[in-house]
């Protein structure tokens, strides 16, 4: 995996998008593109070319897992890493979410001051597992 610099964040709640953008951009120093739903993410992904997809699980229309399947069907994005964000915290539900190329799950509500660090740690663990 390359260095993590660009994150596509998919979240239907505008207040969560705003907080996450501040946490990832201003605090974390990432280049961030945001989408309010899966179909919007599909419209912007090729122009943005993210290193990582950070997606909510439960969204109207396409869910986070459905969105990642659609993104990974695009040429060049078959192995794009993903991290889910969800309020569901049961371990069995977390494990059921994670498929190939999914690096982890972040529980909502998240701490904006540590979100970027948490993503970097999950990314680094994913690189170690892939090696």
pLDDT tens profile 66-115: 999 999 999 999 999 999 999 876 666 667 777 888 899 999 999 999 99
Tokens matching residue 87? 């309020």
pLDDT tens profile 4-62: 999 999 999 999 999 999 999 999 999 999 999 999 999 999 999 999 999 999 999 99
Q: What is the pLDDT of residue 121?
A: 96
Q: What is the pLDDT of residue 99?
A: 80
Tokens matching residue 102? 């999914």
Q: Domains in the chain, please, with CATH?
A: 6-126 (3.40.50.2300)
Model confidence, pTM: 0.92
3-state secondary structure of 36: coil
Nearest by Cα to 83 from 102, 59, 108, 109: 102
């Amino acid at each position: 995996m390359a260095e993590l610099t660009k994150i596509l964040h998919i979240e239907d709640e505008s207040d969560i998008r705003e907080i996450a953008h501040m946490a990832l951009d201003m605090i974390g120093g990432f280049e961030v593109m945001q989408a309010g739903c899966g179909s919007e993410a599909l419209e912007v992904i090729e122009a943005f070319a993210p290193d990582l997809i950070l997606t909510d699980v439960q969204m109207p229309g396409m869910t986070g897992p459905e969105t990642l399947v659609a993104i990974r069907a695009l040429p060049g994005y078959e192995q794009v890493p993903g991290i889910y964000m969800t309020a569901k915290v049961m371990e069995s539900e977390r494990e059921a979410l994670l498929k190939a190329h999914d690096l982890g799950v972040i529980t909502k509500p998240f701490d904006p001051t540590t979100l970027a660090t948490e993503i970097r740690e999950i990314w680094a663990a994913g690189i170690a597992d892939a090696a």
